[in-house]
Amino acid sequence: MNDQVKVAAIAQKSDAADQGLLGIIGAIMLGAILLFSAGFAQATVMHDSSHDMRHAMAFPCH
Partner 1 sequence: MLRHILTSAVFAGIVAGIFAAVINLWAVIPMVMEGELYESGARTHFAVDGSPQSDAGSPSVFEDPARHIMPAAFSVVVFTGYAFFLVAGFALAERYGHRTTVRSGLIWGLCGFITFQLAPAMGMPPQLPATPGPEVVPRQLWWAMTVVFTATALGLIAFGRGVLPIAIAVALLFAPHIIGAPRLDTYFGFAAPELAAHFAGASLAATALTWTTLGLCCAWFWTKLQQD
Nearer to partner 1, 1 or 62 (CB): 62
**Beta carbons within 10 angstroms of residue 58's beta carbon:** 8
Does residue 43 touch partner 1 according to CB under 8 A?
Answer: no
Query: Is residue 57 close enough to count as binding partner 1 by CB under 8 A?
Result: yes
Smaller CB distance to partner 1: residue 8 or 33? Answer: 33
User: Which of 6, 14, 17, 44 is close enough to bind partner 1 by CB under 8 A?
Assistant: 17
Residue 5's alpha-carbon distances to 9, 10, 13, 16, 33, in angstroms, are 6, 9, 12, 17, 42
Q: How far apart are CA 42 and CA 36, in angstroms?
A: 10
The only residue of 9, 11, 13, 26 in contact with partner 1, by rule CB under 8 A: 26
